[in-house]
Structure 1
Amino acid sequence: MSNTAVQLQSIITCPHCGHQKEETMPTDACQYFYVCENCHQRLQPKAGDCCVYCSYGSVKCPPVQQGTCHC
């Protein structure tokens, strides 16, 4: 684990329409689904990623940042 504070804000970018929105990530779990508020597409993680923030966010999810993700 690093001494760096965990970042909770991430800008998620929809791969379908390019819409971006800053979201607060959950601290205790990975988020597997996200619905774009612009085009209403349901996003899922890319193969090998644990959550939508790791796939489409500007910052990896807190469990990955902390090295505690067991996905």
Structure 2
Amino acid sequence: MHETSVILSSTITCPICRFKATETMPSDACQYFYECKGCGAILRPKVGDCCVFCSYGTVPCPPIQAQSGRGRCC
């Protein structure tokens, strides 16, 4: 049986100022809002994404990772 490990760290890139910050994602929930540490903009998920990590992060959120990237998590 193959067990997939879930990555809890993702680097968010602000679409406005391009500031990058590495954050720890919640392991059991989606994060709908994120305040950019560069410009202070409040980021929200893009249409069709469940959270800011899926929209702007280098790694999708843990619930999506656990589903192997299929479907919606929330």
TM-score greater than 0.5 by the shorter chain:
yes
User: Which residue does the alignment assign to 1:8?
Assistant: 8
Counterpart Cα distance in 2 of 1:51 and 1:70: 9
Deviation at 1:69, TM superposition (A): 5.0
- Call closer, same or farther: CA 1:70–1:9 in 2, change over 3 Å: closer
Q: State the AA in 1 paired with 2:48.
A: G
User: Which residue does the alignment assign to 2:62?
Assistant: 62
Deviation at 1:3, TM superposition (A): 1.9
Unmatched tracts of structure 2, length 5 or more: none
Q: State the AA in 2 paired with 1:60.
A: P
Number of aligned residue pairs: give it. Answer: 70
TM-score under structure 1 length normalisation: 0.92
Within 5 Å, give how 1:1-71 maps onto structure 2: 3-67=3-67, 70-71=73-74
Moved over 6 A (4+): none
Counterpart Cα distance in 2 of 1:70 and 1:44: 16
3-state SS in 2 of match to 1:53:
helix
Identity over aligned residues, as a percent?
Answer: 57
TM-score under structure 2 length normalisation: 0.88
The Cα RMSD (Å) is 1.5
Confirm or deny: 8 A CA contact 2:31 2:51 kept in the other structure.
yes
Unmatched tracts of structure 1, length 5 or more: none
